[in-house]
C-alpha cells in the first residue's frame, strides 16, 4: 500500500517534468483519482489551474456497456463490478466526487460524451480544430465508469 495519495505522489513529478520539457500550455488529464487526500495534493500543486471532473453513469448502464465491449456479463462479473464500486466508496471516491468542479453525465451516446468532454476542456470538435488555439482535440475516455 502506497498510501491515500499514491496516484498524486506518482503522477505529480511526471506532470512537472513533462511541463518543464514542453513549450506548450497543455491540458493534462489524470484518471483514477479516488481519495480526498489525492484531490488536495492536486489542488495544492495546481491551484486554480486544477479542475476535478466527475463522470457519472448508473451501475446498470456501466454493466451493460461492459457486456457490449465483449466482456462476460455473468452474475460473477456483476458482483465484481459491485465489489469494486463498494471498495472505491470505502476509499473515499464518493466524497471526492461530491467535491468535483464539473460533472459529466455519461448516460447518452459516446458522441455526446465526447462533445461534453470537449466543452469542459474548451476544445472544439475535430472538424473545426481547437477552439482558441489551445490544446489539440483531446481523445475522450471510453464510455465507462462513475469516477473522477
The whole-angstrom separation of Cα 86 and Cα 26 is: 34
Segment among 38-42, 50-54, 84-88, 144-148 with least mean pLDDT: 144-148
Q: DSSP for 2-65?
A: --TTHHHHHHHHHHHHHHHH-SS----------SHHHHHHHHHHHGGG---EEEE--HHHHHHH
CATH architecture of 6-121: 3-Layer(aba) Sandwich (3.40)
pTM above 0.75, yes or no: no
What residues pair up with 103 in beta bridges, in sequence order? Answer: 54
Domain layout of the chain by residue ranges: 6-121
Amino acid at each position: 500500500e502506497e498510501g491515500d495519495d499514491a496516484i498524486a505522489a506518482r503522477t505529480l513529478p511526471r506532470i512537472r517534468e513533462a511541463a518543464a520539457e514542453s513549450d506548450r500550455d497543455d491540458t493534462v488529464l489524470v484518471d483514477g483519482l479516488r481519495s480526498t487526500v489525492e484531490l488536495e495534493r492536486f489542488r495544492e500543486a495546481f491551484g486554480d489551474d486544477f479542475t476535478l471532473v466527475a463522470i457519472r453513469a448508473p451501475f446498470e448502464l456501466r454493466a451493460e456497456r461492459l457486456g457490449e465491449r465483449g466482456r462476460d456479463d455473468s452474475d460473477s462479473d456483476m458482483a465484481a463490478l459491485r465489489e469494486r464500486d463498494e471498495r472505491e466508496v470505502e476509499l473515499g471516491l464518493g466524497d471526492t466526487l461530491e467535491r468535483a468542479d464539473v460533472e459529466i453525465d455519461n448516460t447518452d451516446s459516446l458522441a455526446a460524451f465526447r462533445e461534453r468532454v470537449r466543452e469542459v476542456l474548451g476544445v472544439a470538435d475535430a472538424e473545426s480544430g481547437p477552439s482558441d488555439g489551445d490544446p489539440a482535440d483531446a481523445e475522450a475516455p471510453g464510455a465507462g465508469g462513475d469516477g473522477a
